[in-house]
Structure 1
Amino acid sequence: MSRLRHSPGRDVSRLLSDFGHELPPVDEPAPKTRPGRLFEPSPLRGPRRANGGWAGSPHPPLSAWRMTSDQAPALWPFVAAPGLPPTGAQIGIDVLAGGAFYADPLGWVLRDDVGVTNPNVICFGKPGRGKSATTKAFLLRMLDFGYKALILGDPKDEYEPLARALGVNPIAVGPGLPARINPLDFGPLATGWERLSRDEADARAGLVFGRWLTLLRGLVGSQRIGAHPVPFGPVEEQVVKTALRELTGHARAASRLRETTIPALWHLLANPSESLVTDCRYDSARQLLDETRLLRDALGQLVDGALAGLFDAPTTIRLDWDAPLASLSLSRLLPLGDEAVGIALTCLSSWGRGLRELARPGELRITVRDEVWKQMRLGPDAVKSFDADLRLSRSSGDIQWANAHKPADLLSVGAAGSQAVTIAKDLLHLADTTILHGQDAGVADELETLLGLPPMARDVVTRWAMQGKGRALWRVGERHCKVQTVLHPLEAQLTFTNDAITGAA
């Protein structure tokens, strides 16, 4: 038996063709080609070279999730690029960028990409939120960059451990202590006065007398008649300036000026000389006495008041400007009240400004002013004195660092709408760097009104920063950085400020 072979048969087109029907031709489809690749594929385990790489698994397991942008950061945190250059003191962690945060207030001024025009810093924070620790950590770490620190008034002796750790004995000012500070000290400007020409001497005298008038205006204005400060107008200024010129010998063109004090000024105004009466254009000594009674009484309170003997005698201390840190302790004045501490801070401010008037080129210093609100509450002229210090930071090369509890402290320097409050608000614009540690939720409106913080920034201050010490919102120009200060264990010991509470517990 033979196997039959089956022919494949005719397809539809062949069958129709045999009966005279032709189907229309059909275009052949173009052959499929794979698109070109941007990168050449690499094998499972590629070469060991840059951009070679290898895959741990050819088909890694994947899990697909659908969520909103508000939920996504919980599983895949959004990471921002570092907002500031890595120069200056390394403070801690920039939580938004995920990297280190560096603080360099003076260096930021020199950079066009940061948008900062002055190196001043105002640090706010509720007590216990890490304000003092951040300040001291900044000081310690900036010492490595050639800076030196001056603590112009330490009301609570917080900087004494830091000073002693650096081998410096802090200077204590208080009743019964030997330290005396004359706020009318010439400072370095007295050096070489005898070699100056008349024009040069007049120019230098203008600097000295201008500083003294700013101080005396603030001290006189700290005394009150009921709810109003003692006036210090053009008449009082002319009398005080003329008396200072006579006391120092500048009115007689002396080649070497004498140091004077507040008691000497008060005594001359109470017993005016003929030249003082004439130079001030009074008809008689009696007229001068009658029209300057309030001025004399205000100065007399400073001479015979609670601070008698502390700021009305020649200076008995000498700061070592080559030391890394100099601190002036005022804790012994706390029993005398906030006003006495504020007056002391005002005197130290003027004295410290005098010491910096002839700073060497390239000398860098951080001037810390703690509890600054006590000084500003003395009145408008005390606020103007602090304002003058902030405005001189660019010319002197200093970083002015001020600590306060909350922005509303600036509103407590006077009545609503007063000149003092207006100037105090403007001080916020003289500090391009603002550090905001944790604050209660009730302060949120102040943060918006005084600082213009948007809602997210306010939440950082009133929520996130309240959940741990050292957390703060750093506002550098128009940039906001969410920063966690990180302390070395040794720094934590030097910056600890709850010794009294720990001892009581």
Structure 2
Amino acid sequence: MDQKPSRTPRHDRGLPEAAVPGPFGPGLVRGGYWNLANAWIPPHQATSQHIAGIYPFVADSGLGHRGPILGVDLNADALWHFSPWEAYVDSSERGTFSTNILVLGAYRGGKSATVKTLVTRSIAFGHQVVVPSDPKGEWVAVAEAIPGGRVIRLGGGTGTRLNPLDRGPRRTGTTDEQHEQMVKQRRIGTLIALIEMTLGARLSAVEHAALLDALDRCILRTDDHPTLRGVFEELGEIAGETDAAFHAAEGAIQPRFVLRRLVEGDLSGLFEDESTVEFDQEAPIVVTDTSELFARGDLAAQLTQVCSTAWIQAVISDRAAHRTRYVVREEGWRDMTSLSSLQMFQQWLKLSRHYGISNIVILHKMGDLDAVGDEGSLERSLAYSIVGDIENKFIFRVNSQEQTALRTRLNLPAPHVEMARHLRKGEFLAYVGQYSYLVDCFATSTEWEYELFATDDALAPADRDDSDFRAIDAAMLDTLWPETREMETGIEGWLTAGPRENTEEQ
């Protein structure tokens, strides 16, 4: 078994005979294939930028294949899958600690279409989509195009009412005392947010006590079915009491004037009484159309968004439903216009994981938060802190004015900020946990999705190009040409042609 194999002649193996005897043969001078000497190749010199382009291991492995496809990873030239819940349960270094998403970018950058692509494709994975307030009516078409989608229309003579003080379903895993305390905190938080947003100032201790007393009275009188109208009436009773303790009568005046707008003013017929609709737990997508109300001004839009969001949150804050939901917050800065609303928003973001919710906060620019409080105020600092703490971020094309805000407020690297200025429509920088990706969403969009999610119909170009040469048929040209008539070409004819014609017509 250890015998040495017999050598086969070179001729039998089809190899050419060596022209020069010896182990190296002619390869030493001619580069033959049996040359045993190593070839000397001069080193390649190039800049680090060019070397990075030819280095074979620059493509990232991505987030894996769990979750819906959201686009193409332009760095890896591979499909990019994303699900906030899959990223949250991922125990590797690519995992995240939050399910919420911040979407930031200038107008016509593809934000809305990308969000719609993500949530609609996620429906097949069992996730529900909830839009508490649709100020532009863009999501209505999406809900109507999806089988089973539900649209709740407010205003415009629909007669639909939502009660922001609804109790909502019972929280799972809580005692009776804990459940009652959570419901009471949500109700008083909604009332304070509405009143402080309208007044533009924080409630005093006396006003807070009067509002809390009115809510307790309304709950007792209505057998735990409080409404804004009921609280409004109780505040009127307190304001008329001359012997009320702690000057509660004085504290009831301002809150009552604010609620009067919702009960008897331009926002009446929407939120002051019992709800006339129910939230459909089984619908794949539920959209609250508030586009009719946003034309009444910014304050009306903010009050509407607070009431509709409070009604939605009362229903979906239930772990027993075993549903994972996207909550899309269009014009997200409207949820953060007062200290009380900011505190409610911050608490809601913290509890999102507990309830299986992914909040998608959409902003056009970081400057939107400058409308929150005064410069250096607690409100504005809290608003920037809330946005900065959202771990998952989708950054679309931004204007040059946003460079400083992105670096200081979101702590983005300078090269990424410069890249964000030159992104094409539908491209975005995705920050998931500690990793970043460059994604093109529209690279995977179908024609049906592209047409349904388009939001630039009013700015669409004409359906024909007037710059193209169009030949006119001779017969058609004759019909367009004016009729020939005899005219006097003399100087007298030119001067008197107009008066003569007018005389004949008269």
**TM-score, normalized by length of structure 1?**
0.77
Tell me, in whole angstroms, the C-alpha distance in 2 between the residues paired with 1:310 and 1:77.
Answer: 61
Tell me, in whole angstroms, the C-alpha distance in 2 between the residues paired with 1:286 and 1:462.
Answer: 57
Tell me, in whole angstroms, the C-alpha distance in 2 between the residues paired with 1:184 and 1:65.
Answer: 72
1:385 aligns with 2:344: yes
Alignment of 1:17-56 (within 5 A): none
Deviation at 1:444, TM superposition (A): 0.9
Assess if the C-alpha contact under 8 Å between 1:391 and 1:430 holds in 2. Answer: no
Which residue is 1:356 aligned to? 316
Which residue is 2:457 aligned to? 499
Deviation at 1:169, TM superposition (A): 4.2
Deviation at 1:261, TM superposition (A): 1.0
**What amino acid does structure 2 have at the position aligned with 1:99?**
A
Q: C-alpha root-mean-square deviation of aligned residues, in Å?
A: 2.9
Which residue is 1:321 aligned to? 281
Alignment of 1:41-440 (within 5 A): 66-73=45-52, 79-113=58-92, 114-167=94-147, 168-189=149-170, 200-224=175-199, 229-249=200-220, 257-272=223-238, 283-284=243-244, 287-360=247-320, 362-377=322-337, 379-440=338-399
Residue deviations 1:188-247 (CA, integer Å, cap 9, x gap) = 2499xxxxxxx95443221111001111111111123xxxx2432444333323322222
Structure 2: tracts of 5 or more residues without a match: 1-21, 25-32, 34-40, 464-506
Deviation at 1:474, TM superposition (A): 0.7
Deviation at 1:356, TM superposition (A): 1.7
SS at match of 1:328: strand
Residue deviations 1:444-463 (CA, integer Å, cap 9, x gap) = 11110111111111122112
Residue deviations 1:445-498 (CA, integer Å, cap 9, x gap) = 1110111111111122112x1xx2110001112211111113111111111111
Structure 1: tracts of 5 or more residues without a match: 1-30, 34-42, 44-61, 192-198, 251-255
Tell me, in whole angstroms, the C-alpha distance in 2 between the residues paired with 1:133 and 1:291.
Answer: 47
Which residue is 1:473 aligned to? 429
**What amino acid does structure 2 have at the position aligned with 1:266?**
F
Shift in alpha-carbon separation, 1:461–1:286, aligned structure 2, 3 A = closer
SS at match of 2:64: coil
Which residue is 1:488 aligned to? 446
Shift in alpha-carbon separation, 1:138–1:502, aligned structure 2, 3 A = same
SS at match of 1:223: helix
Tell me, in whole angstroms, the C-alpha distance in 2 between the residues paired with 1:362 and 1:269.
Answer: 39
Tell me, in whole angstroms, the C-alpha distance in 2 between the residues paired with 1:249 and 1:422.
Answer: 39
Identity %: 27
SS at match of 2:138: coil
SS at match of 1:171: strand
Tell me, in whole angstroms, the C-alpha distance in 2 between the residues paired with 1:306 and 1:354.
Answer: 25
- How many positions carry a matched residue from both structures? 422
Tell me, in whole angstroms, the C-alpha distance in 2 between the residues paired with 1:478 and 1:200.
Answer: 38
Deviation at 1:83, TM superposition (A): 3.5
Deviation at 1:64, TM superposition (A): 8.6
SS at match of 1:100: strand
